[in-house]
């Protein structure tokens, strides 16, 4: 039997024997770590196991208490607890499918889902996290970090949530400061590497690229892209790699595209790797607007945009619904006290 289950059984017997009847409060994590000689994670798993049985409840900022009769969070084999899903844009072109996967899996496990969107703005993310710290109804969080490629002012809030025992699963990637976080994502490094290799194997010699700099996904795809070029014996030309941020986007696509076409033409660029389908469409549209033949373009996500443009660019497939289901499975496992690890899915050809 796992150590945390042994501890949960000891605490259960103590609860049933009335050991905590005076105050209803269990010892602190620190006290139980000292008593049982285990890690805080093991204690949290034990407490999570007791919560799942309706034996205890947690009050954020106060502690763990013996649950009052009738307050069990599980009745008749179903759960009434809530998972909060925080994403950048709920209506973004890949997120409806991810959310569909999350919702399907959570529903199967008896959980409810609430949605919040940050607009990829750290101040909105901060407000959402502060609300969670004051909302005891949230049992777990699935979160797409905001501008993970930049230093975040919200790291302390994520750490507070962890200290309060609220499980979290990050979508796509986490922050460097939270290196031990559980992540359900795509293998962005390998995706960038594969994109470069596929273009080179198709005869391309001069590769241009557009990557997003304020999200770690863009940094990882760039790292793989560069290694893919070097592994095939070509040299890197940093002048052909363009970076953009969230704020560089507008309703018609990428603001910086139109000013770049001439330099790419002059450099004889014969292909591009784009951060996602939105950028690929913006680039293709600018070539069309200037009456120029577009080079080969490779992108990521294989969204409806690829089909809408008659497959004029190739896009690696994002496992959207599978990723959503994976994140939901991980968060429910963590709530139940099970150990989890990060998983990064393969891009689809």
- Binned at pLDDT 50, 70 and 90, residue 314 comes out as very high
Q: What is the mean pLDDT of residues 115-121?
A: 94
Give 141-199 pLDDT, tens digit per residue.
Answer: 999 999 999 999 999 999 989 888 889 999 999 999 999 999 999 999 999 999 999 99
The model carries a pTM of 0.78
Q: How far is CA 284 from the centre of its chain?
A: 29
* Residues sharing a CB contact under 8 Å with residue 182, sequence separation 6 or more, in sequence order: 168, 169, 170, 330, 334, 340, 341, 342
Domains of the chain: residue spans and CATH: 3-66 (1.10.10.10), 79-180+321-345 (3.40.50.2300), 188-318 (3.40.50.2300)
79, pLDDT greater than 50: no
Residues 152 and 149: their CA atoms lie apart, in Å, by 9
Q: What is the pLDDT of residue 69?
A: 53
Residues 88 and 124: their CA atoms lie apart, in Å, by 10
Burial class for 235, CB neighbours closer than 10 Å (0-12, 13-18, 19+): exposed
């Amino acid at each position: 039997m796992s150590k945390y289950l042994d501890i949960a059984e000891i605490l259960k017997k103590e609860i049933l024997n009335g050991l905590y009847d005076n105050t209803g409060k269990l010892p602190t994590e620190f006290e139980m770590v000292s008593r049982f000689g285990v890690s805080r994670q093991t204690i949290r798993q034990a407490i999570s196991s007791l919560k799942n049985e309706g034996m205890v409840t947690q009050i954020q900022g106060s502690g763990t208490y013996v649950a009052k009769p009738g307050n069990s969070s599980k009745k008749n084999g179903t759960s009434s607890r809530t998972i909060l899903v925080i994403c950048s844009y709920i209506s973004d072109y890949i997120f409806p499918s991810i959310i569909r996967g999350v919702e399907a899996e959570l529903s199967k496990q008896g959980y409810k889902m609430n949605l919040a969107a940050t607009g990829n703005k750290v101040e909105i993310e901060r407000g959402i996290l502060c609300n969670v710290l004051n909302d005891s109804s949230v049992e777990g969080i699935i979160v797409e970090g905001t501008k993970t490629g930049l230093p975040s002012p919200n790291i302390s809030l994520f750490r507070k949530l962890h200290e309060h025992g609220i499980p979290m699963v990050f979508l796509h990637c986490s922050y460097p400061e939270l290196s031990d976080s559980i992540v359900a994502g795509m293998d962005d490094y390998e995706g960038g590497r594969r994109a470069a290799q596929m273009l080179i194997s198709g005869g391309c010699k001069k590769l241009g690229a557009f990557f997003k700099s304020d999200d770690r996904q863009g940094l990882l795809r760039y790292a793989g892209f560069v290694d893919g070029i070097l592994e095939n014996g070509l040299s890197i030309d940093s002048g052909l790699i363009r970076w953009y941020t969230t704020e560089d986007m507008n309703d018609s696509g990428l603001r910086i595209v139109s000013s770049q076409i001439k330099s790419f033409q002059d450099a004889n660029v014969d292909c591009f790797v784009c951060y996602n389908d939105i950028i690929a469409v913006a680039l293709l549209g600018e070539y069309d607007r200037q009456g120029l033949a577009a080079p080969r373009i490779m992108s990521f996500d294989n969204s409806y945009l690829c089909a809408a443009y008659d497959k004029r660019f190739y896009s690696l497939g994002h496992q959207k619904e599978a990723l959503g289901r994976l994140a939901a499975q991980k968060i429910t496992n963590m709530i139940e006290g099970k150990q989890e690890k990060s998983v990064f899915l393969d891009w689809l050809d």
